């Protein structure tokens, strides 16, 4: 694990079980409807890849890149679109796939932006949620795991672009970011 991480919060098998559970719920809820998965780059890459493979129904994918962190550990609340969707989502059943929701500020902004594009439906799936960090209330239909308000890395989550490739989710040691 190394000196930069304090502990493993969710191991590979726990992550796989969580993704399988989310996929089963999504499959059941979207029976008979085609689904557009919208991944939020870069953090959701691992979740999106594994979730899409676990689904048993047709789904297309698109990506957005938005930023509100920079190199820090807390959301700034100021959102920038770095990459927008490639296709029009009007009339489509859209499922936003997130890696983590903490303050909810960025996601709240994103959902408002996507609603203005007139999808048939718009829901959220997140692997991780930090209930104690929430600053705005967001209706999240699919949650893999509720976790404590700690800075986590791995499985797509990063600190200054490091640690994304870890196959587990661990807590970052404070000396790394302080």
Please say if 99 is a catalytic residue.
Answer: no
pLDDT class for 76, splitting at 50, 70, 90? low
CB-based contacts of 39: which residues, under 8 Å, 6+ apart? 45, 47, 48, 61, 62, 63, 64, 97
Q: For residues 54-60, give the mean pLDDT.
A: 95
Tens digit of each residue's pLDDT (9 = 90 or more) over 124-134: 999 999 999 98
> 40: which DSSP letter?
E
Q: Which of 82, 55, 87 is nearest to 70 (CA)?
A: 82
**CB–CB of 19/169 below 8 Å?**
no
178: pLDDT confidence band, cut at 50, 70 and 90?
confident
Catalogue the E-assigned strands of 58-163: 59-67, 80-83, 93-101, 121-129, 142-146, 152-153
Structure tokens, 29: 């809820």
- Active-site pick, 50, 62, 86, 102: 102
Entry pTM: 0.92
CB 73 within 8 A of CB 173: no
Domains of the chain: 12-150 (3.40.50.2020)
For residue 87, give Cα distances in angstroms to 37, 117, 126, 177: 12, 11, 22, 37
List the structure tokens of 154. 């791995």
> What is the distance between the alpha carbons of residues 156 and 45, in angstroms, rounded to a whole number?
6
């Amino acid at each position: 694990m190394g000196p930069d991480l304090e502990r493993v919060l969710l191991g590979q098998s726990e992550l796989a079980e969580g993704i399988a559970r989310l996929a089963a719920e999504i499959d059941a809820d979207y029976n008979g409807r085609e689904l557009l998965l919208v991944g939020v780059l870069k953090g959701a890459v691992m979740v999106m890849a594994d979730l899409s493979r676990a689904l048993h129904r047709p789904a297309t994918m698109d990506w957005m890149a938005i930023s509100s962190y920079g190199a820090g550990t807390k959301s700034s609340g100021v959102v920038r679109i770095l990459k927008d969707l490639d296709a029009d989502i009007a009339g489509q059943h859209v499922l936003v796939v997130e890696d983590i929701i903490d303050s909810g500020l960025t996601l709240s902004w994103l959902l408002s932006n996507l609603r203005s594009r007139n999808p048939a439906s718009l829901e959220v799936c997140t692997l991780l949620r930090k209930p104690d960090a929430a600053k705005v209330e967001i209706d999240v239909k699919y949650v893999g795991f509720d976790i404590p308000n700690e800075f986590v890395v791995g499985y797509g989550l990063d600190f200054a672009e490091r640690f994304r490739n870890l196959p587990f989710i661990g807590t970052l040691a404070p000396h790394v970011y302080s």
